Amino acid sequence: MGIIGHEQVLSSFTRAINSNRISHAHILVGDDGIGKSPLATAIAIKLIGKEENREYIDIVHWTVEKNKASIGVGAIRELIQEINKKPYEVDKKVIVIHQGDKMTAQAQNALLKTIEEPPKNVFMFILCENLESILDTIKSRCQIHRLNPLKESDMRNFLKLKYPSLDETQLKVVEAFSDGIPGKAETLIHDDNFNKLREAAIEILGNIKKVSTEELLGYEDYFTKLSDSWQSIINIIITILRDTIIYKEVGDENLIINVDKLQNIKELANMFSLSKLNDIISIVEDTRRTLEKNVNLSLTFTVMLLKIQEA
């Protein structure tokens, strides 16, 4: 099917399709970028008896309309009309609902009867990140398939196939920060802001003991501008600190994730003791938990920096 990873889910679908025992309704759940859409499309292509990876009129993709935050009842009524139309090319039809967790409760209830009693040879796939947003009545009538992050070897294969120009250092960095999620890896590759964030994190940690409290507070404006990237900032700082601990403990450069920042890692290892580094990681993790409660971002980061300076 041309899909990297998710072998268990793929083999389960392949067996069901080959034996003509596939259920008519499925939910694919997993993180954004993990591969739900290409997986559903590949399965749909096999379901309608085709092989070429292209658009087919009997594979219908449905998602949130532009400028709308959810899929409402009106959109679902239109979808139901589409579901009830006969297949055009073959004797089967596949409906793929993207961002299924964006369906309102009313929309899901409107779809329920169709899921319970679909037209003959119609198969439905609901893709979602948050399974809790799907009504129990919907979940109970669907087979649920959870997509896990890709193994390191699968991520490496994905990146080498799609981005053959990446060198070993770039591959290692992207793999480390992508968490086994192909879509996240692609975002990092195309996001110039990612390297800027790493440079800023290195700079802040390197200067934290040298600058005055007033200078330290100057970073507040920087963090305020990056309010949408706070999770990335936290992850980057944690990764740099862990690299520093590893280098300080075992001195093995091959274990460093931020291998392109090795000189900076060595400098940080000379600046901080192991106990201080562990204390700082605890401070940053506490900051993560605080930010998850949607508190003031710039103030929380400022408190974090002051605590690190005092550590």
Q: What is the CATH number of the domain that holds 77?
A: 3.40.50.300
Of the candidates 120, 146, 172, which is a domain's last residue? 146
Q: Provide the token pair at 192.
A: 């110039």
- Please state the domain count of the chain: 2
Which DSSP category does 255 fall into? G
As a whole number, mean pLDDT of residues 167-182 equals 89
pLDDT at 1: 55
Answer for the pair 60, 86: CB distance below 8 angstroms, yes or no. no
The runs of H, that is alpha helices, within 208-296 are 213-217, 219-225, 230-250, 262-271, 274-291
The residue segments making up the domain with residue 267 are 191-310
Residue with tokens 């309704």: 25
Residue 122: name the closest of 61, 58, 56, 77 by CA.
58
The CATH number linked to 235 is: 1.20.272.10
In a domain, 96, yes or no: yes
Same domain, 288 and 196: yes
- Asked if residue 36 has pLDDT above 60, the reply is yes
Q: Out of 117, 146, 175, pick the residue that ends a domain.
A: 146
- Residue 183 maps to a domain: no
Q: Which two tokens stand for residue 143?
A: 């087979």
Same domain, 125 and 223: no
In a domain, 166, yes or no: no
In a domain, 173, yes or no: no
Round to whole Å and give the CA distance between 157 and 153. 6
For 227-260, the pLDDT digits (tens) are 677 888 888 899 999 999 999 998 888 888 888 8
